[in-house]
């Protein structure tokens, strides 16, 4: 069943936050899922181990192992969610070639937008190799409401050919940053309904890409 990965060679853009929340949301929907942490920093796997949901998790960083294990896991589980590393190595390329959907979080800063083209190039090269996969989606991550940079970033990202700009914007919120130390996801955080709603919408949009 589908492999959905969060990749972007730019560090700190929200890959782990996105992957952990998609996994948590799918788990709450009673889907049988597996979480793969492909980043040697292991922050995704550590976070998963702190959650009460006990979602099966593997740490796989080696390209050959990813090539072997991801299709096996996809056969065993309804969804495989992959948290990518901030690099453009063989492992990231392997993940992209094997993914059904690749989600790229992008922060609305000049530097992040500048490096987005490299992330998209990597996805397009995977699509050339596989003959179409993965479906490519980007979303604006850690945005601030009412800023010009946010609107400019959305306009820029909407113009990338063959890449779906997700309508949901994940805004910068302290509650999101606090989730790891609180050993939970935003769905269990108190007084964070607005951010929980954003993640719910984001997850629905990502799943909608598979239809
Ligand atoms: N919407 C948000 N609001 C507030 N903080 C956020 C938000 N998204 C991410 N963060 C925080 O920003 C930091 C980077 O996020 P995250 O670890 O998800 O990025 P990443 O792309 O996985 O980074 P890396 O490339 O290092 O793996 C974390 O401390 C996280 O808690
Ligand atoms: Mg990460």
Establish whether residue 176 lines the binding site of ligand 1, counting it when its CB lies within 6 angstroms of any ligand atom: yes
Three-class secondary structure of residue 29 per DSSP: coil
Angstrom distance (rounded) from CA 57 to CA 54: 8
Residue given tokens 């984001």 in the structure block: 202
The mean pLDDT value for 153-162 works out to: 94
Residue of the CA atom closest to atom 25 of ligand 1: 11
CATH number at residue 154: 3.40.50.300
Of the listed ligands, the closest to the CA of 196 is 1
pLDDT of residue 112: 94
**HEC letters along 64-130:** HHHHHHHHHHHHHCCEEEEECCCCCCHHHHHHHHHCCEEEEEECCCHHHHHHHHHHHHHHHHHHHHH
Q: What pLDDT, in 10s, does the model give residues 20-64? A: 999 999 999 999 999 999 999 999 999 999 999 999 999 999 999
Establish whether residue 16 lines the binding site of ligand 1, counting it when its CB lies within 6 angstroms of any ligand atom: yes
Q: What pLDDT, in 10s, does the model give residues 59-93? A: 999 999 999 999 999 999 999 999 999 999 999 99
User: In sequence order, which residues have a C-beta less than 8 Å from that of residue 22 and are 6 or more positions away?
Assistant: 4, 6, 81, 103, 202, 203, 206
Q: Could you tell me whether strands 57-59 and 33-37 are parallel, antiparallel, or unpaired per DSSP bridges? A: parallel
* Mean pLDDT, all residues of the chain: 97
Q: Which domain holds residue 26?
A: 3-208
Residue given tokens 């997850």 in the structure block: 203
Residue of the CA atom closest to atom 5 of ligand 1: 177
Q: Which two tokens stand for residue 105?
A: 């979080």
Residue of the CA atom closest to atom 29 of ligand 1: 177
Establish whether residue 56 lines the binding site of ligand 1, counting it when its CB lies within 6 angstroms of any ligand atom: no
Number of domains in the chain: 1
Q: Torsions phi, psi of 196, nearest 5?
A: -60, -40
DSSP conformation class of 22: H
Using alpha carbons only, how large is the chain's radius of gyration in Å?
16
Cα–Cα distances in Å, from 80 out to 32, 69, 167, 173?
9, 11, 23, 27
pTM of the model: 0.98
- The residues pairing with 137 across neighbouring beta strands, listed in sequence order, are 103, 164
Q: What pLDDT, in 10s, does the model give residues 164-176? A: 999 999 999 999 9
User: With 90 as the cut, is the pLDDT of residue 211 above it?
Assistant: no
Sign of CA dihedral 78, 136, 127, 56: negative
CA of 17 to the centre of ligand 1 (A): 6
């Amino acid at each position: 069943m589908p492999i959905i990965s969060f990749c972007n060679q730019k560090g700190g853009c929200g890959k782990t936050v996105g992957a952990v929340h998609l996994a948590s949301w799918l788990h709450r929907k009673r889907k049988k899922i597996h979480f793969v942490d492909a980043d040697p920093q292991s922050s995704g796997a550590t976070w998963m181990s702190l959650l009460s949901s006990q979602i099966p998790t593997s740490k796989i960083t080696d390209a050959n192992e990813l090539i072997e294990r991801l299709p096996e896991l996809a056969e065993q589980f309804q969804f495989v969610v992959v948290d990518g590393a901030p690099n453009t190595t063989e492992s990231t390329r392997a993940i992209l070639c094997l993914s059904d959907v690749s989600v790229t979080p992008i922060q609305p800063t000049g530097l992040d937008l500048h490096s987005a083209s490299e992330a998209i190039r990597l996805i397009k090269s995977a699509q050339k190799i596989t003959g179409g996969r993965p479906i490519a989606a980007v979303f604006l991550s850690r945005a601030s409401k009412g800023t010009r940079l946010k609107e400019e970033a959305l306009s820029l990202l909407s113009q990338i050919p063959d890449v779906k700009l997700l309508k949901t914007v994940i805004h910068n919120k302290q509650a999101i940053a606090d989730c790891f130390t609180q050993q939970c996801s935003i769905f269990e955080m108190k007084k964070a309904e607005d951010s929980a709603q954003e993640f719910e919408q984001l997850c629905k949009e990502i799943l909608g890409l598979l239809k």
